[in-house]
Structure 1
Amino acid sequence: MNEKEVSEIRRRFRQDKSNITHIRGCFVNDKREIVSQFDQSLALMSQEESEKFLAILKRTLSGTLGKNLIDLSFATEQVVAGEEHQLLMELRNSSLKNEDAVQAFFERVIQNIALEGQYLILLTHDTYDVFYRSKDGEKQDDASSEVYSYILCSICPIKPTQPALSYYVVENEFHNRKADWLVSPPELGFLFPAFDDRSPNIYNALYYSRDVKENHAEFVDAVFKTDVPMPAAAQKETFQSVLGEALADDCSYEVLQSVHGQLSEMIEVHKTNKEADPLAISKGTVKSVLKSCGVAESNMDAFDEKFNDEFGADVAISPQNLVDTKKFEVRTPDVTIQVNPERSDLLETRVINGSKYILIRADDGVEVNGVSIRIS
């Protein structure tokens, strides 16, 4: 799915937009025991309650594609006869009314998720009459091309509040408020089937993980029986390690400055051009950047080998997972320098009388502890 398709489905989670009639829920304690289950009708809720439920579900489609939102693919064999795919299809096709399928799904999640504390599993179903968009991009609401039927799952930690002194308006008095339990934003979840090319794609699902350091691989394996990419934070750390180990003596400030600058430029161009599909780069793209920096052929070969070992030969990675376009940092054991990424040219490294230095060009506006100083 691309950003436009995700946004189109996100807009469904409003009372006046969705065809969601009810929400299934399963409250699980820290011992993996089901405390309670519910099947609540949105029509019977207050407006405030239904809006809060929809807002929680909507959060499962938030974040960055390739970082928080990840496309998962099913093999053809799974779609034809896979137990895990058949269960998801039954949940969708029955609009969550097949009790055996719902209970089987809850049990599968509970037995294969590593979340500390209590949590809530939410399931909902929606049908969307996909509006027709003409070649000139005009939206035609009265011309529906097909119906997109899908389920959305959100898994939300339930955290205790702290006892506190609270003001009660009716009594016009302060009283102690006891500890209570609040539903937190989703930690993980998914949309099935995917909404690709504005049509249902039963060969794909869109998976969500709030924490870029965690991909909940055990949950993905249980529900989808497929591999999930390395977490975004781990991709960045691994890429940095591959560069440092492979480039050896070629791993200079100038080379890393160029890698950061060129990858950041790719991200910016993609954003400026408003490309619908997520940006992904291959190993070959990074090697072209290294070659332009004059990296030795032997070190290029070392990078090739280490990249294959860590990521795989044919893997495409989002550059947003590899560099932070808003941050450029130089660090020593005792000093950390934060640099505007667009002005990394203000720094250079140099050896003077046998000692290594990081030089910063400082023409004006220099302050020490908030006090302006002059450099003579």
Structure 2
Amino acid sequence: MNKKDISELRTRMSKSKCTFTRMSGCYVTSDKDILLHINETFLNLEDDEFDKYLAIAKKTLSGTLGNNLLELDFPLEEELTGGKQQFLMGLRESKLKNEELLETFYKLIIDNYDYVGNYLILVFHDVYDVISKTKDNFKLDESEEVHEYLICAICPVKLSKAGLGYLEDENKIGPRHRDWVVSPPDTGFVFPTFTDRSTDIHSTMFYTKSTAEPHRELIESVLGCPSKPTATEQKNTFQSIIKTAVNDSEQENKVYGDIQESLSLLAQEQSELLGSEDEQVVLTNESVREILQENFLPEEIVDKIETAYKENFAEEPPAVDYLLDKKVIAENNKLKAQKQLMEKVEVLEEQLEEAKNSTESSFDEEFDVILHIKPEKVDRIKEEFIDGKRCITIPIDEDEQIKVNGMTDLSFL
């Protein structure tokens, strides 16, 4: 699924366009006990409920592709009889009306979901008549195909915050009653995917609120798919590789910042060549070495980074966009600008000093001889009469240099 596919499904999640047929679910305690079941014809819900449940479903299709949203492919064995994909196919075909299948699905989640606390499992069923479009995106009236799919959302249920409030029955201010409140989804998935405006039963779109710690147990045990790292995890791994190889607290941030800037330039150059937002630039092993060498890193560090990169990203090299850290790039540019400014200030100070020295050493109408001598030598200057003439004598050590009227070659003396 690309951004357009996701946007097309999300756009339909409104009061006027929604075609959800059914919603089922259950409320689970921290002891893994089911307190209640939900089975509703979605379009019959009261407006207030309708909007809030719809917002939950919509949330599972939000966030960044490759980070909050991970497209997962089912292994072949999961598409055989008894596999997870086959089970989800059956659940979809039941239109959420088979209680036995639903109970099996709930139990599968409850047995594997690693979460401490109460939570709500919700499953939505939708049937979308996909209207065909021309190449220039103009809609036609006839339906090209029907996309039937499920949305599953798992929402933490937490106690509202403690506090004081107005107790109407007692007409006083007292401890507010604390309610169990359903939070936005912590995780969820859409099955099957809607790819190129068509149903793809061989993949699912997994949603995670936390990009640093996605629930891999659900990916592997509930969906039966191989786990895939989020963009945040890939970025953190890449940063760790760089800093471990550099192993210098003073230099590692600068090196990482310079590499981030190089990655940003690479992404920009390649995206201009590809000309499509959906085509991602992959950071190959060769590209890693080139970037490191461009930043003049020692060969020993280059080899360490390259080796660690191959080990961590052997199965699938990450997209360059996934490794970019905008905050680091901005900070690095800021530091570079400050450094350039400091260098300009130093040059100006040197020029001012030279101009000052030049002015002080130049002759004016009042004086015929002007000396510019370091303070520590002033007390060694003597006024003497030599051959009847008034002279100033200045002792010169062997390692000291002399400049007269801008000239250092005093052979004419």
Q: TM-score range by the shorter chain?
A: 0.7 to 0.9
Q: What whole-Å deviation, never above 9, does each CA across 1:276-332 have from its counterpart, x for those lacking one?
A: 345543333333322333445554433232112223x2413233442321344xxxx
Q: What whole-Å deviation, never above 9, does each CA across 1:125-162 have from its counterpart, x for those lacking one?
A: 1011112221123233x132111111000000001013
Tell me the residue number matched to 1:284. 286
Q: Is the 8 A contact 2:254 2:332 kept in 1?
A: no
Q: Is the 8 A contact 2:193 2:205 kept in 1?
A: yes
Tell me the residue number matched to 1:356. none
Q: 1:172 to 1:253 in 2, by over 3 A?
A: closer
Q: Is the 8 A contact 1:247 1:295 kept in 2?
A: no
Q: 1:12 to 1:280 in 2, by over 3 A?
A: farther
1:221 is displaced (CA, Å) by 1.2
Q: Amino acid of the residue matched to residue 261 of structure 2?
A: G
1:143 aligns with 2:134: no
Q: Is the 8 A contact 1:56 1:185 kept in 2?
A: yes
CA distance in 2, matches of 1:271, 1:172: 65
Tell me the residue number matched to 2:74. 74
Tell me the residue number matched to 2:45. 45
Q: How many residues align?
A: 342
Q: Is the 8 A contact 2:258 2:332 kept in 1?
A: no
Q: 1:166 to 1:274 in 2, by over 3 A?
A: farther
Tell me the residue number matched to 1:11. 11
Q: Is the 8 A contact 2:66 2:230 kept in 1?
A: no
Q: 1:21 to 1:247 in 2, by over 3 A?
A: same
Tell me the residue number matched to 2:337. 346
CA distance in 1, matches of 2:61, 2:190: 8
CA distance in 2, matches of 1:296, 1:221: 41
Task: Name the stretch that deviates more: 43-52 or 108-117.
Answer: 43-52
Tell me the residue number matched to 1:20. 20
Partner SS for 1:61: coil
CA distance in 2, matches of 1:161, 1:343: 42
Task: Name the stretch that deviates more: 47-56 or 71-80.
Answer: 71-80
Q: 1:170 to 1:279 in 2, by over 3 A?
A: farther
CA distance in 2, matches of 1:8, 1:214: 28
Tell me the residue number matched to 1:123. 123
Q: Is the 8 A contact 1:130 1:145 kept in 2?
A: yes
CA distance in 2, matches of 1:314, 1:221: 17
More strand by share: 1
Partner SS for 1:361: helix
Q: Amino acid of the residue matched to residue 346 of structure 1?
A: A
Q: Structure 1: which 5+ runs fail to align?
A: 329-338, 349-358, 365-376
Q: Structure 2: which 5+ runs fail to align?
A: 346-413
Q: Amino acid of the residue matched to residue 303 of structure 1?
A: I
1:171 is displaced (CA, Å) by 11
Q: Is the 8 A contact 1:4 1:276 kept in 2?
A: no
Q: Is the 8 A contact 1:66 1:318 kept in 2?
A: no
Partner SS for 1:290: helix
Q: Is the 8 A contact 2:147 2:198 kept in 1?
A: yes
Q: Amino acid of the residue matched to residue 323 of structure 1?
A: L
CA distance in 2, matches of 1:55, 1:166: 28
Tell me the residue number matched to 1:332. none
The alignment's TM-score, normalised by the length of structure 1, stands at: 0.81
Tell me the residue number matched to 1:316. 317
Alignment partner of 2:305 out of 299, 303, 306: 303
1:241 is displaced (CA, Å) by 1.9
Partner SS for 1:65: coil
Tell me the residue number matched to 1:326. 327
Q: Is the 8 A contact 1:242 1:307 kept in 2?
A: yes
